[in-house]
Amino acid sequence: MAHPKRRSSSARRDKRRSHDHAEIPQLAICPTTGEVHQYHRAYWVDGNLYYKGKMIIDGSEKN
């Protein structure tokens, strides 16, 4: 297994990690419910699950 001959300096390490910071998630507003949610994520509103403005799971239909 390969291993480094020399220790990486903290400056070199930090330059490599400079792009690994957390980003603010992109938010969208649902045209159907008006709810703010993350893009490409399903979201719950009043017991119903929505995705791309369409109801996926109706929470009022309990068995």
Cα dihedral sign, 52-53-56-59: positive
Percent of the chain's residues with pLDDT above 90: 76
Strand partners, 36: 29
Is residue 35 within 8 Å of 43, Cβ to Cβ? yes
- How sure is the predictor about 57, in pLDDT bands with cuts at 50, 70 and 90? very high
- How sure is the predictor about 27, in pLDDT bands with cuts at 50, 70 and 90? very high
